A and B are shown apart, each in its own frame.
Chain A
Amino acid sequence: MASGVMNQLKNGLWRDNPGLVQLLGLCPLLAVTATFVNGLGLGLATLAVLVASNALVSATRRWIQPEIRVPIYVLIIASLVTCIELIFKAWFPDLDRTLGIFIPLIVTNCAIVARAELYASRNPVGASILDGIAMGLGFAMLLMTIGAFREVIGQGTLFARMDMLIGGEPMRGLVLADQGWLLLVLPPGAFFSLALAIAAKNAIDRRRLESKATLSRRARKLNR
């Protein structure tokens, strides 16, 4: 059981990461990751919606007619997103204003529909919730990584305006440089950052595979 949990977490965070590998939900990924706090905010919102929608879809999977399943998934996801939107409006009004349309647009995030269709509709509730946590965390981690990267290089700061999420006075965050490389904050920078992240993941995977191959070759030589 424990290894199954680990496996699912590994799938969501790395092997089947919705952003890096499945390339799903790219619209919010590219649009709001100009700073770390934006990435974190949208990542948390997506995570919450993904966990809840997986749980609901899995719990109702016996009664959903397969012919009309997609409209019903959209209905479930849309009502959850409305809840999240109201929560953001109530507790994080500044962040809500910054993220703007991209909070309601979580409805159309294909990563969520994909998990409902591919996983939650054919697995029990517990496993579906775990899948939602794993995939949501994977997506949120990617949003935060790209957000931090773009913020450091684009603005020269890190964790600026965290007050939008945790309250208090407006924060400048860690100021590393007075001025950044504007390109990274602009839309092309999002594409470059995502491309770099995917390339890094592939490079790490390949290096691991190669080292594993050399290890097994050595082991075979020793056995002989």
Chain B
Amino acid sequence: MEFQRREAPFLIPAVSVSSMMLQVLAALVPAAIAHVWFFGPGFILNLLVAAIFATAGEALMLSLRSRRPETGLTDYSALVTAALLAFALPSLTPWWVTATGALFAVIVAKHLYGGLGFNIFNPAMAGYVVILVAFPMHLNLWVAPRMGDLDYQHLTILQTLQFTLTGGLPDAISFDAISRATPLDVMKSGLNNARTAAEIRAIPIMGDFGGRGWEWIGNFLAIGGFWLMIRKIIRWQIPVGVGLGLLVPATIFYMVDPGSHASPGFHLFGGATILCAFFIATDPVSAATSPRGRLIYGIGIGLIIYCIRRWGSYADGVAFAVLLMNMAVPAIDKLTRPHIIGHNDRSNTSD
């Protein structure tokens, strides 16, 4: 009888890049459905545009770098980048804005640094920051969320498609009738105008925790994130770190002066906190690698998000926080290198 001969390691985890990326995409599906439900079909169009251009950019760069295109295209990493970018964009975004972000993410942030596995910066966030800086007025068009008692005009699929393709609306519809400041914007401008946080919370768009629609998308993202954690695609350190870094200062400031600071619940559910904690900051390439390093990396992101939201000029700071901490990753990794058991070189350890 012939036995199969195998070399160590004998327990090979059945994880490949493509299966990992597919599971991340699957975890995003419930939140995507919620996004379409609350903010209209624009999300699907943005996702399509981003996916097409990200894949095209990936194929172009792979052929320019004379790599085999099929290995790069079947790992689905370009699709994950496109999906994260689509989540960051308002549902009304002209196609050229989305395309710029997707192409920049894949070509500059990923392939110019050496492709998947070598990129220092999170590609989706780099692409988002570029379009945020280059097209500031296009990234403010958030439509009103669909909730029973808010009677805002909602666009049909065709009208959304027209906006995505041309950047203009049908003549009968004005931007004011459909668009709405995001909860974080409302909170920031309200606090700047010397209104108390409690007054601002009474505005119907603010919802129960962090804005109508937003909090539900956050819930579904959290469900997807926990599923990824159970599947061991992501580890607990980064989400917990982001939560700690954001909520600890938020709670302290809220307890000291509840009038002029948003509540921790608002910080958790308003904006992109949960998306960042489970899906953006956990990008295995650009995040820190050691367990302690991941915790520090997450806490840093959370702290920077809080600082930008509280003192910065932008309403949300997830993209900037992630990119800034990406820059700190080499230092974090060097300082938190795990101690090798039996290795007694004190000069080489960090503690």
| A91 interface hit (Cβ, 8 Å) | no
Which residues of chain A come closer than 8 Å to B134, judged between CB atoms? 181-183, 186
Contacts of A186 in B (CB 8 A): 133-134
User: Hey, which bits of chain B sit against chain A, CB under 8 A?
Assistant: 130, 133-136
Which A residue's beta carbon lies closest to that of B129? A188
Specify which of B130, B133, B134, B136 lies most central, judged by the most chain A CB atoms within 10 Å of its CB: B134
Closest-by-CB residue of B relative to A181 is B134
Q: Closest residue to B135 on the A side, CB-wise?
A: A182
Q: Which chain B residues lie closer than 8 Å to A182 at the CB level?
A: 133-136
What's the interface size class on A, roughly? under 10
**What would 5 A/B residue contacts be, using CB atoms closer than 8 Å?**
A181-B134, A182-B135, A183-B133, A186-B134, A188-B133
- For the complex, would chain B's binding face be called helix, strand, loop or mixed by DSSP majority? helix
Which residues of chain A (176-206) have a CB below 8 Å from chain B? 181-183, 186, 188
Q: Give Cα distance in the complex from A182 to B97, angstroms.
A: 12
* Chain A residues close to B by CB (< 8 Å): 181-183, 186, 188
Closest to B134 in A: A183
CA–CA, A183 and B138, complex, Å: 14
The distance from the CB of B327 to the nearest CB of chain A, in whole angstroms, is 15
A186 vs B136: C-alpha distance when bound (angstroms) = 12
Question: In whole angstroms, what is the CA distance A181 to B99 when docked?
Answer: 13
Residues of B within 8 A of A188 (CB): 130, 133
Closest to A182 in B: B134
Instruction: Give chain A residues whose Cβ lies under 8 Å from the Cβ of B136.
Output: 182
Chain A residues near B130 (CB, 8 Å)?
183, 188
Closest to B96 in A: A181
B120 to chain A, nearest CB (A): 15
A178 to chain B minimum Cβ distance, whole angstroms, is: 13
A182 to B139, CA, bound (A): 14
10 additional A-B pairs beyond A182-B134, A183-B134, beta carbons within 8 Å, are A181-B134, A182-B133, A182-B135, A182-B136, A183-B130, A183-B133, A186-B133, A186-B134, A188-B130, A188-B133
Which residues from chain B contact A181 at a C-beta distance below 8 Å?
Answer: 134
Residue of B nearest to A180 (CB): B134
- Chain B residues near A183 (CB, 8 Å)? 130, 133-134
Top 9 A-B pairs, shortest CB-CB distance: A183-B134, A182-B134, A183-B133, A181-B134, A186-B133, A183-B130, A188-B133, A182-B135, A182-B133
A151 to chain B, nearest CB (A): 16
| B63 shortest CB reach to chain A, Å | 18
Q: Complex Cα distance A183/B130, Å?
A: 7
Q: How far is the CB of B90 from chain A (nearest CB, A)?
A: 18
Q: How far, in angstroms, from A98 to B42 measured CA to CA in the complex?
A: 42
With the chains together, A182 CA to B134 CA distance in Å? 5
How far is it, in angstroms, between the C-alpha of A186 and the C-alpha of B135 when the chains are bound? 12
Q: CA of A183 to CA of B127 in the docked complex: distance in angstroms?
A: 12
Q: Which residues of A contact B133 (CB under 8 A)?
A: 182-183, 186, 188
Q: Report the bound CA distance from A122 to B130 in whole Å.
A: 47
Q: Which residues of A contact B135 (CB under 8 A)?
A: 182
